[in-house]
Amino acid sequence: LETKLPRVGTTIFSVMSQLALEHNAVNLGQGFPDFAPPARLTQALTRAMADGHNQYPPGIGLPALREQIAHKTERLYGRATDAATEVTVTSGATEAIFAAIAAVVRAGDEVLVLDPAYDCYEPAIDLQNATAVRVPLTLPDFAVDWQRVRDAITARTRLIIVNSPHNPTGAVFSAADLDALADALRDTSVWVLADEVYEHMVFDGAAHQSVARHAELAERSFIVSSFGKTYHCTGWKVGYCIAPPALTAEFRKVHQYLTFATFGPAQWAFADMLAAEPEHYLQLPAFYQHKRDAFRAMLAETPLTRLDVPGGYFQLVDYSAVRDVDDVTFCQWLVREAGVAAVPLSPFFETPPDTRLLRLCFAKNDATLTAGVERLAQLR
Ligand code: PMP
Ligand code: GLN
């Protein structure tokens, strides 16, 4: 068999979670909460099944849920959003990302991807026989150098993928970043894929700079988010895509034959939850900021150096005071010897810089964070 994806192996998230199991480690690697979704949501899910909502929902998503998503977008980001023509419910953000790329990217196109990047973008680009062109983020704070973005745009550029808050670095866009993105794309025909799955995890009083806030960008953007992140249920795999009608029409052609529809009972549950308890997502920044701050305070007692975390639910640390080895080797050693699973940073890069960084997830119960840090504090 001649593989279509020669550079793809098992994702680092699965690899580290498997090692965590094997070594009975505290798993601070793969990004998922170890606490329960809101009780109302799980009750609404079982009720939906008991009430008989067990057959195909509408392919584009339950109308009541699309209405709630449109309402939330309007309320938070001030963009009027039409549930009928601009919102599609998907099987996680991962499906939405794949469908958006497949909808607009053609063979021979170039897609700008910031480096480092979340790992599902590039294989989806490769499968279109297109080329991912990496634009390095600038150390130490992983900011976008917009001049480098402008320089990377060619006649072949079809799409740029942005991700704020950013996985794995936690960097967030400012309003000036949105303006710079809009400036860079003006007079081009480049579309935008905005991965905003961590939209409710922006800290220290800052606002999430959704491309939905920026009229000029919203006109050319697919905006993707995930209920798995927002409602602590990554295993349910429900997300959505918001895009202007012409882009949504193309997106839905792919979605229709990729999955056709998304798990129905969960859609009833999210529609109920969004209508009944909008406070949930409004309180998420404070909820996760509290976890971030508690985790950072504990980490001060370890030999790991903390980088700033303006958004997302990952803490980057520099481990160079412990071992001078590459990050994959270090994470394998850490899970084996210290009993803590982390995620190395190099798999997110096309060209890994010479850094000694790893990623720790703080979407965990306080007891899990404490248990993990107790082990990290023993490092010598
Ligand atoms: N984008 C980013 C940046 C992510 O971190 C994740 C999930 N961890 C996804 C997309 C995929 O989201 P989902 O689980 O809803 O498919
Ligand atoms: N997005 C999660 C992370 O960054 C993992 C999701 C996955 O395992 N596919 O850890």
pLDDT digits (tens, 9 = 90+) for 304-353: 999 999 999 999 999 999 999 999 999 999 999 999 999 999 999 999 99
| Any ligand 1 atom below 6 A from CB of 164 | no
Average pLDDT over residues 257-282: 97
pLDDT confidence of residue 331? 97
Q: Torsion-angle region of residue 108: left (phi > 0), alpha (psi -120 to 50) or beta?
A: left
- Taking residue 1's Cβ as centre, other Cβ atoms within 10 Å add up to 3
Atom of ligand 2 nearest to the CA of 234: 6
- Using only the alpha carbons of the chain, give its radius of gyration: 20
Give the distance (Å) from ligand 2 centre to CA of residue 233.
13
- The span from the CA of 237 to the CA of 235, in Å, is 5
Domain borders along the chain are 12-30+280-376, 40-277
Predicted pLDDT of residue 106:
98
C-alpha 291/C-alpha 69 separation (Å) is 27
23 CA to centre of own chain: 27
Ligand 2 pocket, residue 30 CB under 6 Å: yes
12-30+280-376 and 40-277 share one fold: no
Which residue has a Cα nearest atom 3 of ligand 1? 167
Residue of the nearest CA to atom 1 in ligand 2?
31
What is the CATH T-level fold of the domain 12-30+280-376, as seen in this structure? Aspartate Aminotransferase, domain 1 (3.90.1150)
Tell me which residue has its CA closest to atom 2 in ligand 2. 31
pLDDT at 192 over 90: yes
d(CA 236, CA 240): 13
Instruction: Give me the chain's average pLDDT, please.
Output: 97
Ligand showing the shortest atom-to-Cα distance for residue 197: 1
Residue carrying the six token digits 């010598």: 380
The Cα–Cα gap between 289 and 233 comes to 19
Ligand closest to the CA atom of residue 229 = 1
pLDDT in tens, 77-136: 999 999 999 999 999 999 999 999 999 999 999 999 999 999 999 999 999 999 999 999
- Ligand 2 contact, 31 CB (< 6 A): yes
What pLDDT sits at residue 310? 98
Arithmetic mean of pLDDT, 129-158: 97
Paired with 66 in beta bridges are none
What was the pLDDT predicted at 380? 85
What band does 278 get if pLDDT is binned at 50, 70 and 90?
Answer: very high
The answer to whether 32 touches 363, Cβ cutoff 8 Å, is yes
In whole angstroms, give the CA distance from residue 320 to residue 282.
Answer: 37
Whether the CB-CB separation of 190 and 158 falls below 8 Å is answered with: yes
Share of the chain above pLDDT 90, in %: 99
Q: Burial level of 152, CB count in 10 A (0-12/13-18/19+)?
A: middle
CATH of region 40-277: 3.40.640.10
What's the maximum distance between 2 C-alpha atoms anywhere in the chain? 58
Query: Residue 201: nearest ligand to its CA?
Result: 1
Q: Are 92 and 267 in contact (CB under 8 A)?
A: no
Percent of the chain with pLDDT over 70: 100
The answer on pLDDT for 24 being more than 90 is: yes
CB 120 less than 6 A from any atom of ligand 2: no
SS (H, E, C) the chain: CCCCCCCCCCCHHHHHHHHHHHCCCEECCCCCCCCCCCHHHHHHHHHHHHCCCCCCCCCCCCHHHHHHHHHHHHHHHCCCCCHHHHEEEECHHHHHHHHHHHHHCCCCCEEEEEECCCCCHHHHHHHCCCEEEEEECECCCCECCHHHHHHHCCCCEEEEEEECCCCCCCCCCCHHHHHHHHHHHCCCCCEEEEECCCCCCECCCCCCCCHHHCHHHHCCEEEEEEHHHHCCCHHHCCEEEECCHHHHHHHHHHHHHHCCCCCHHHHHHHHHHHHHCCHHHHHHHHHHHHHHHHHHHHHCCCCCEECCCCECCEEEEECCCCCCCCHHHHHHHHHHHHCEECEECHHHCCCCCCCCEEEEECCCCHHHHHHHHHHHCCCC
What global pTM score does this model have? 0.98
